Structure 1
Amino acid sequence: MDVYQEALLYLEERNIPVETESDVLEEDVFHEESVSCLLSSLNPESIELPDTPNSFSLEEMLERRLVVLRSILESEEVYLRELDILLTPVKALRASAGTSQPVLSSQQLQTVFYQVPELKDLHQSFYSGLKARLNAHSPPEAAPDDEVEMKFRDSELIVGDLFLKMVSQIGLYGGFIENYEKAVEVVRQCTHSDQRFRTLAESMMSNNGTDKARTIYTLEALLYKPLDRVTKTTLVLLDLLKTTPSEHGDYAALQEALRLSRSFLSGVNESSQSKRDVTLSRGPRRQLMRDGFVVDASEGTRSLRHLFLYTDLLLCTRLKHAVRGKQDQYRFCWYLPLAGLRLRWSAGQEQISDTNIRLHTIRSKIYLLRQQLLQHSGGSKFLTLAARSKKKLEQMELMLLTHSPHHRLELHSPSGKSHTLLFSSLYELEEWREAIHKLTADNVETVPPDLLTLTGACVKLRMTRQPTLHSADAGEDEESLCGTLDVVIHSAFGLQEPTCVYVCVEVDGYEFYNNQAQTHSSIQSLNPQWDQELSFQVDGAQSLKLLCVSQSDGQDDAVLGKTTVKLDPAALSRRWRRQTLPLQQVEVMLSLRFSPHPLRPPGSALQQPPVFGAALEAVARQEGVLVPHVVRCCVEEVERRGMEEVGIYRVSGTASDIGALKAAFNSNLREAVSQLRGAEVNAVSGVLKLYFRELPEPLIPTELFHPLTEAVEIQDLDSRLASMLSLLQSCPDANRHSFLYLLQHLRRVSERQHVNKMSLLNLATVFGPSLLRPPVAGPGHGGPTVDISQEVVVQVQVVFSYLQCDGLPEARISALHDSDSEDETTHM
C-alpha cells in the first residue's frame, strides 16, 4: 500500500471527507476570504492537548503515527512545490525592475513576495530533516522479516525536535500575514494596468511532479497558500500527538510545539482586526512593530531581555517561563518613549583578554556537547543522554548569547534616561536601528502607558518566542557548510561622494567559532579598494551577511547598505568565484571559495603574526595579496594628505608615534588604519620607511645587487633599461609588485616637487639603502666586496634609474581570486 492510500485510510477512519485529485487541467481557484476570517476559523484556544487514546495497542499507535508522518511529508512536498511556483518569476521581475519599463517596481516586487523566500527556506529545512529521518527509519528495501525490528524502531523514531524547530520560527508568518493584503492589492492593480503582468499572474503552471497531472495557478491564489498553511499547523500537531504515546521521546517536544503554535495563532487572531493594537486603560492604541531578544547592559551587568518596539515606545521586559500547563509571563524592566529619542551606535571593539578566554571556554563546551549528541546511538539510554546534553547545550548557548555581544546601540531620551543594548550581529543591530529611527522621525509625545496592561499583552502579541538557539538541531543539514569559507572583499562603487568606508562580513551557523570580520577602513574615495581576505571556520553555515559602513570624523558611523547571500554548497567550490552584490546605495565586489572538511575543536584566538620584521612574501601570503596592507595603507594616507608636505619622506616623524603605529600593525590591522588617519603624516611616511628597512631580506633580493651594479654602468640607455627590467622580472611576485607599487607612488610624489621639494633623486636617496643591500660577506661568498661609499652610490643609482624608466609595468596589488568563468552579479 503506498503512502497516499495509507493517508486516505487514515482520514476515512476519522470521518474526514476526502476529495481525490484530477489529472485534467484546471485552475486553482482563489477563494475571496479575509485574513481575519481565515485565521479565526481555527480557534487555537479551543484545542486542548490530546489524551493518549487507550483503545489502541502501542504497536497500532506507532503504525498510525508513521502514517501521519508520511502524510505530513507528502503535504510539505506539495507546499514547497507551490512556493517554488510562486517564486519562479522573481528573477525575471527583478531584472525588469532595473529597466526603463519595469513590470513591477523594486518596491512593488518586495511587497508582493515579502517573506516568501524565508518561508520556503524554513519549510525546506523541515522537509529535508523529516524526510531523512523517515528514510533512515524505514528504508524502501526493508524485508518482511524485519517487521519486529521495525516495530521496535518505531518507538525510537524521533522527530519532535524538527517540529519544535519549525514552530519556533513560525513568527515568519506574522510578517507575511501583515503584508498579505498589501501584496494582493499590488497584484490586482498591476493585473488591471499591465498586460504583461496579467499574462504572468494568471497562468502560473505546475506539473505536480509528473508530465500528465498539471495545475494552473493564479499569482493571487499562490499568495493564499501560506495563509492556508499556517492555520493547519496546529491541526497537524494535534493529529500527531494523538498517535504519539505519552512515554514516547517526542511527546514533550510535540506538546511544546503545539503550545507555541496555539500561542502564535492566538496573537494573530487577537491582532487581525486591530492590526495588533493594544487598548490601554487611558485610551491610546499602539501597534507592535518588532520584537526580539537583546542583551541589556544598562546597569553595568549583561541581562538577556525581550525587547518590544511599539509605534510610540520601546518596552524592555524579562521573560518568566511558566510551569508546565500555564502561560508564560513577562516582567516589566523599563520603557522609553520614541518622541525625541536619540540613537548612537558603534561597531564592536576588540574584546579584552579575560572575555576572550571565557568565550573560548563556552564555545569549547558547546562543541563537545554537540559532538556527544551526534555520536549517541538509538535506545532508551540515548533519549536520556540526549535530553541531558540538549539541556546543557541550551544553557551554554544562553551564556554565549549573553556574553558575546559587543556591538552597542545607545538610547538617549530627552528626559535624561539612557539605556545600552548589545548585539552579536551588526546586521541585526542595523535592522533595529532602522526600525526605531523610522518611528522616531514623526513621533510626538504620548500619554504614559498603562505598564501593567502593556506588559501583560506581550505574551499574545510577541512574534519571537525564544532566543535563537541551535540546541534543537539534532542532525547535520545537507544544505549547510562545514569547512573553511574564504571571502575576499575587493572594492565598492556607487558612492555619491568620497568617503572612508569598511565592509563587515557575518556568517551564520553553530557558535563554535567567531564568524564575524571586518575590512580595514579605506581612505576617502569614490571607489574604495581593499582586496582583503577574510577567512571563516564554519559549521552549519547557510547564509552570509554584508554591510558597507562609512566613517566620518566627529560623526557616527552610517550603514550605506546591507544584504544577505544564501550560501549554496552546490555553487561554491575550492576555486574562487567572483560576484558583485548590490547593497542599497553601493555595490560591493567580492570573491568566495569554500573548502569542505571536518572541523577541529575551536582553538583559542590566535595572535596575529607580526608584520614588521617578517618576510614580505610570508606577509603577502597571509593577507592573500601581492602588496602588503601596511604598504598600501601608508601610501594611500600619504597621497591623501602628505603630497604637499615639505620634505615628505625626508623629515621623519617622532619615534614614539612611529613605534605606536608599528605595534598596531603588528597586532590589529583595523586598529592600525584607524590610528593612521589621526597620526601626523610624517609619522605615516616614517612607518613605511621603517617597514622596508626591517625586512629580513631587502625588497630587491640581495643576489641581484651585483647584476644591478653592472647594469647601471651600461652606457646605452635603452640597453641599460632593458637589462634592469629583465632583472626585475626575476624577483618573486610579491617583491616585484610591491616595488613597482612603491615606484609609482614615489613618481606621483615627485610630480609635486615644486611644493614638497622631493625630486626623484631625493626620493631615491631616501629609499635606496632600504630597498637594496649587498650580500653579507662571509664563507662561500664569491662576489666582489663593496665598500660603504660605493654601496650607497649603487643603491641610489639603481632606484633612481627605475624611477626614471618610462616602461615600467603596472603593479598588481592583489592575487587573482576569480575563476575562469565571467563575473557573476548576484541581486538580492
Structure 2
Amino acid sequence: MDVYQEAVDYLETHHVPVEAEADALEDVFHEEVVSCFLSPLNTESVDFPDTPTLLSTEELLEKRLVVLKGILGSEEVYLRELDALLMPMKALRASARTSQPVLSSQEDRLNAQSQTELGTDEEAGLKCRNFDLEVGDLFLKLVNHLSLYGGFIENYEKAVEVVRKCTQSDPRFRTLAESLMSNNGVEKVRTKYTLEALLYKPLDRVTKTTLALRDLLKTTPVEHRDNAALQEALRLSRSFLSGVNESSQSKCGVTLSHGMRRQLMRDGFVVDVNEGVRSLRHLFLYTDLLLCTRCKHAVKGKQEQYRFCWYLPLAGLRLRWTADKKRSSDINIRLHDLRTKMFILQQQLQQHTRGPRLMAMNARSRKKLEHLELMLYTYAPVYQLELHSPSGKSHTLCFSSLYELEEWREAIHKLTTNNIETVPPDLLTLTSSCVKLRMTQQPPLHSISAGENRGLLCGTFSVAIHSALGLQQPASVYVCVEVDGYDFFDDETQSHPSVNSLNPHWDQELTFHVDGAHNMKVLCVSQNEGQNDTVLGKTTVKLESKQLTNRWRRQTLQLGQVEVILSLKYIHHYLQPPSPAAQQPPVFCVPIERVALQERVVVPHVVRCCVEEVEGRGMDEVGIYRIPGTATDINMLRAAFNSNLREAVTRLRGAEVNAVCGLLKLYFRELPEPLIPSEMFQTLAKALDIQDLNARLVSMLSLLKSCPEVKRHTFLFLLRHLQRVAQREELNKMSLLNLATVFGPSLLRPPAAGQGHHGPKVDISQEVVIQVQVVFSYLQCENLPGAQTSLPFLSEADEGPTYM
C-alpha cells in the first residue's frame, strides 16, 4: 500500500493541490538584507496601536464599523487556515497503522491533541452563533474560551519539533508539510502554507484577539452599551496573556548556581551598534545573561520569529556609558527631514475626517508615521552603554534617553554583583521562547505611548535649574532634563557642569518645544576626571497642564540623597514645523545685553564660569590675573564658548588657571561697548575729585544705578569676586590696586571721537589713571549692592517652594 499516494489522493479529493517538490524549511538563523538607513524591524511585524486622535461619536462609530469588518475578515481567514491544518490529519493517522508510518504513535498523539483542541474551539464558535448577542457579549464568550488554547500552547513546541524531525527524515512528510493550500480572500486566492506556520496560527490568534479588542475599545464611545463588556473582555484576554508569559518564563528556567533559576528580569528595544552600523534590536535581560535578538517579520505562510544576534554572560561584565553628541551634518539633515515629515503626518491625522476612503488614507499615513519613528529611534540616540565581557567580547548599545540607559545599567549592575555562574544556554530554545515573551511588548514609540491628547503639554516648556543640596563630597555636577511626547523636537538638554562644590549653583534656563508631553525626567550627574560619569539620582515628574502657568513656579525634587531646586514655566501655543538645529550664537565680540538675552540670564555664563573656576582653584595663585596665560589655550577656550557652552565649561575645568583669567579679561576687552558705559566716563572722572572718601563712594554708587541692568549686575558680580581675591593678598600678592590696574582699561573707556562727546579731551596718561582709579574706588566700597546673576524665576504671585 502506497501511503504517500493515498495521502496525496486524499488531499486532491478535497481540492488541495500538492506540489511534487518544495524547498526545505527556512532556517531560523537565515540572515536577511536590510538597508543601511531603513529600520531593521519592519513595521508589519508588530501590531501597533493607533495613533491617538480626538474624534466625534459619529466618527468613532464609523471607525468601529471598519474595525469590526476587519475582525470578521480575519476570522474567516483563520477558519479556512484551520480547515487547511485539519485536512491531512486523516491520511497521516491512517498511515500510523501501516508498516511504513509517517508519524509514530507518540507523534500521532500530539497531533490528535491539537486536533481535539482546535475542534473544541470551532464548536465553541458555533455555539456563539446560536444566540442573538451584542458584539461585546460575543467577545466575552470568545475570551471565556481562551483557556482552551492553554493546552495547544503547552503542546506547540513539541508539535513543531515533531514537524521538523519528520520533515528532515521523511520526504513524503516534507512534501505534505510544505504544500498546504487555503482559499483566502473574496477572490478565493490560493495561499500556500507550511505546516509549521499553520500550527502557529492559534497562538497568533490569541495575541491578535487582545490587539483587536484594544482597537475595538478605542473606537467604542464610553457611553456605548458594548463598552463595559469589551473592557472586561480585554482584561480577561490580557490576564490570559500574562499567564502565558509567566508560564513560558518558568518553563525555560535553568537551574543556576546557588539554586537560582534563569528568569527574565527586563526586556525592551535598544539600538545595537556593530562596526558603525545601527540596528534596532530586542534585548532580553535574564538572571545570568543578556540576550540580543532581532525580530523577523511574519510573511504569508510563515510565523513571526526571533533570530539570535549575540549573548553575554553577566558574570564579570563591565559597564561604561558615554554621551556622543557629535553627529555628522548629513545625519543631522536626515533626522531633521524625518522629524518634519512626522510632524506633517501627525497634523494630517489630527484633522477631522469622515468616510471610509479618508480613513483608509489615514491608516496608510499612520503606518508611514510609525515607520518613520522607527527610523528616528534607530539613528537619533546619543548615549552609549558599552558592555565588556571577561572573554574579550564587547558590544555597544545606544539610547536616546539617559534615564532609560541608567535603568538598564542599574538592572544589569545589580545582577552582575551577584556573581552567578552562567550555564551555557540552548540558544535555539532560548530564542524561540522570545516569541511568547514578546506577546505583550511594543516598541517605545512616542506617538503611541503619549496616550490621550487631553491634558498634554503643547507649546514652550521651560525649566530653570537653580542649585543642588545634599552632595556627600565636593563634585562637578550637571543636571539633565528629558521630556516625552511626540519626538518632533529635541527632548533632552543639560545644564553646564558646576565647579567642584558641595552646593553647586547654575541658575540656567533650559527650554523645550513640546507636543504631547506628560512626563519630565530629571537626573543629577557627577563628572569624574578620566572616569565614567556617575548618576547621583533621578526622578520622574508628571506634568499637569492645569498646574503649570506662564509664570515661574519653584519646586524642589528629591533625587536620591540629592535635592535639586528648579522652577517650571509653560506657555501653551500651536507649534510650527521643527526647524534645523541652529548653531549656538557667538559670545565674544557681541554686546553683553544680547548674550544675556540669548542665555536667559543677567550675568553671562562665560563670566560666571570663569569666576567660579578661579575661586575654586586659583585664589592662592601668585600673580593671579597679572601673569598671562598661554595664548593658544585662551584662544581654544574662546572658540569653545562661541560654539558649545557645555563643551567649553568642560574644557575650562582642565585648563590652566592663568588661561581662565586671561579668557575673562579678553571677554571684557572685546566687548563692543565697555562694561561701564562710555558716556559715564567724564561724570566718574569728576566724582574722583571729591576729597572725602565716603562722599565720593556714595556719589559713584549713585552713578552706578543709571547703568543698564545687565552691565550693572555683571560689574557688581566682578567687583565682589575681585574683593574676595584681594582678601588672599598675603598668598597671591594681588592687592585691590593691583587688580584695578589689571581690569581698569578693560572695563572703562572714554567715548570715541565723533560720538557726540563735547567734554574736554583726555590724553592717554590721564585716561589710564581715571580707568584705574574708578575701579579702585569701587573696590574700596565695603557696602556694594548684591549682584543678581539670573532672571527672577519665582514671581510674587507664586506660593513658596513645592516639594515633590
TM-score (norm 2): 0.71
User: Within the alignment, does 1:499 sit opposite 2:453 as a pair?
Assistant: no
| Aligned partner (choices 608, 611, 624) of residue 632 of structure 1 | 608
User: Within the alignment, does 1:548 sit opposite 2:524 as a pair?
Assistant: yes
8 Å contact from structure 2 (residues 256, 420) kept in 1: no
8 Å contact from structure 1 (residues 280, 450) kept in 2: no
Report matched runs for 1:110-509 at 5 Å. 133=55, 136-137=56-57, 154-157=61-64, 235=140, 257-258=211-212, 265=239, 268-270=242-244, 272=246, 276=250, 278-279=252-253, 285-323=261-299, 327-375=303-351, 377-462=353-438, 465-472=441-448, 477-509=453-485
Deviation at 1:154, TM superposition (A): 3.6
Distance 1:437 1:570 in 2: 39
Deviation at 1:361, TM superposition (A): 1.0
Distance 2:594 2:450 in 1: 41
Partner residue in 2 for 1:24? none
Partner residue in 2 for 1:806? 782
Deviation at 1:515, TM superposition (A): 1.1
Distance 1:510 1:351 in 2: 21
Give the fraction of aligned pairs with identical amino acids, expressed as a percent: 63
Partner residue in 1 for 2:617? 641
Distance 1:324 1:256 in 2: 21
User: Within the alignment, does 1:825 sit opposite 2:779 as a pair?
Assistant: no
Cα distance per residue 1:776-814 (max 9 Å; x no partner):
121632222111111100000000000011111121211
Partner residue in 2 for 1:59? none
Distance 2:506 2:141 in 1: 52
8 Å contact from structure 2 (residues 676, 747) kept in 1: yes
Q: Would the alpha carbon gap of residues 712 and 553 (structure 1) be closer, same or farther in structure 2, given more than 3 Å must change?
A: same
Q: Would the alpha carbon gap of residues 358 and 552 (structure 1) be closer, same or farther in structure 2, given more than 3 Å must change?
A: same
Distance 2:801 2:775 in 1: 41
Deviation at 1:609, TM superposition (A): 1.0
8 Å contact from structure 2 (residues 447, 487) kept in 1: no
Q: Secondary structure, in 3 states, of the residue corresponding to 2:263?
A: strand
Deviation at 1:155, TM superposition (A): 2.9
Cα distance per residue 1:459-499 (max 9 Å; x no partner):
22247622122455899701111110111100110111101
Cα distance per residue 1:621-677 (max 9 Å; x no partner):
221211111001001111111112221111111111111100100111100001001
Q: Secondary structure, in 3 states, of the residue corresponding to 2:474?
A: coil
| Aligned partner (choices 776, 780, 801) of residue 752 of structure 2 | 776
Partner residue in 2 for 1:517? 493
Q: Secondary structure, in 3 states, of the residue corresponding to 2:720?
A: helix
Partner residue in 2 for 1:46? none
Distance 2:703 2:759 in 1: 17
| Amino acid in structure 1 at the alignment position of 2:57 | H
Deviation at 1:443, TM superposition (A): 2.0
| Aligned partner (choices 640, 647, 655) of residue 664 of structure 1 | 640
Q: Would the alpha carbon gap of residues 331 and 699 (structure 1) be closer, same or farther in structure 2, given more than 3 Å must change?
A: same
User: Within the alignment, does 1:607 sit opposite 2:583 as a pair?
Assistant: yes
| Amino acid in structure 2 at the alignment position of 1:257 | L
Q: Would the alpha carbon gap of residues 279 and 808 (structure 1) be closer, same or farther in structure 2, given more than 3 Å must change?
A: closer
8 Å contact from structure 1 (residues 291, 463) kept in 2: no
| Amino acid in structure 1 at the alignment position of 2:463 | V
Q: Would the alpha carbon gap of residues 535 and 276 (structure 1) be closer, same or farther in structure 2, given more than 3 Å must change?
A: farther
| Aligned partner (choices 770, 777, 782) of residue 794 of structure 1 | 770
8 Å contact from structure 1 (residues 374, 474) kept in 2: no
Q: Would the alpha carbon gap of residues 330 and 779 (structure 1) be closer, same or farther in structure 2, given more than 3 Å must change?
A: closer
TM-score (norm 1): 0.69
8 Å contact from structure 1 (residues 390, 471) kept in 2: no
Cα distance per residue 1:77-112 (max 9 Å; x no partner):
xxxxxxxxxxxxxxxxxxxxxxxxxxxxxxxxxxxx
Deviation at 1:235, TM superposition (A): 4.1
Distance 1:535 1:362 in 2: 22
Deviation at 1:446, TM superposition (A): 2.1
- After superposing the two structures, state which structure 1 stretch, 502-511 or 363-372, moved more: 363-372
8 Å contact from structure 1 (residues 521, 670) kept in 2: yes
8 Å contact from structure 2 (residues 248, 433) kept in 1: no
Structure 2 runs not aligned, ≥5 long? 1-48, 72-136, 145-184, 187-204, 215-233
Deviation at 1:593, TM superposition (A): 0.6
Distance 1:774 1:578 in 2: 43
Deviation at 1:354, TM superposition (A): 2.1
The alignment yields a C-alpha RMSD, in angstroms, of: 3.2
8 Å contact from structure 2 (residues 447, 486) kept in 1: no
Distance 1:400 1:482 in 2: 21
Q: Would the alpha carbon gap of residues 772 and 290 (structure 1) be closer, same or farther in structure 2, given more than 3 Å must change?
A: same
8 Å contact from structure 1 (residues 376, 382) kept in 2: no
Distance 1:758 1:277 in 2: 76
Partner residue in 2 for 1:94? none
8 Å contact from structure 1 (residues 280, 453) kept in 2: no
| Aligned partner (choices 622, 630, 633) of residue 598 of structure 2 | 622
User: Within the alignment, does 1:767 sit opposite 2:687 as a pair?
Assistant: no
Deviation at 1:351, TM superposition (A): 2.5
Distance 2:357 2:450 in 1: 16
Distance 1:746 1:236 in 2: 81
8 Å contact from structure 2 (residues 256, 262) kept in 1: no
User: Within the alignment, does 1:560 sit opposite 2:480 as a pair?
Assistant: no
Cα distance per residue 1:584-632 (max 9 Å; x no partner):
1201011111111110010000111111111111111221211111001
Q: Secondary structure, in 3 states, of the residue corresponding to 2:659?
A: helix
Q: Would the alpha carbon gap of residues 622 and 492 (structure 1) be closer, same or farther in structure 2, given more than 3 Å must change?
A: same
Q: Would the alpha carbon gap of residues 403 and 160 (structure 1) be closer, same or farther in structure 2, given more than 3 Å must change?
A: farther
8 Å contact from structure 1 (residues 329, 456) kept in 2: yes
Q: Larger Cα Rg: Structure 1 or Structure 2?
A: 2
Report matched runs for 1:590-739 at 5 Å. 590-739=566-715
Q: Would the alpha carbon gap of residues 694 and 264 (structure 1) be closer, same or farther in structure 2, given more than 3 Å must change?
A: same
Q: Would the alpha carbon gap of residues 649 and 277 (structure 1) be closer, same or farther in structure 2, given more than 3 Å must change?
A: farther
Structure 1 runs not aligned, ≥5 long? 1-125, 139-151, 165-231, 240-245
| Amino acid in structure 1 at the alignment position of 2:263 | Q
8 Å contact from structure 2 (residues 210, 238) kept in 1: no
Distance 1:473 1:451 in 2: 32
Q: Secondary structure, in 3 states, of the residue corresponding to 1:422?
A: strand
8 Å contact from structure 1 (residues 580, 825) kept in 2: yes
Distance 1:297 1:705 in 2: 61
8 Å contact from structure 1 (residues 276, 288) kept in 2: no
Partner residue in 1 for 2:134? none
Q: Would the alpha carbon gap of residues 677 and 160 (structure 1) be closer, same or farther in structure 2, given more than 3 Å must change?
A: farther
| Amino acid in structure 2 at the alignment position of 1:607 | Q
Distance 2:253 2:541 in 1: 40
| Amino acid in structure 2 at the alignment position of 1:513 | F
Distance 1:467 1:273 in 2: 23
Q: Would the alpha carbon gap of residues 473 and 562 (structure 1) be closer, same or farther in structure 2, given more than 3 Å must change?
A: closer
Cα distance per residue 1:94-146 (max 9 Å; x no partner):
xxxxxxxxxxxxxxxxxxxxxxxxxxxxxxxx99979x64xx225xxxxxxxx
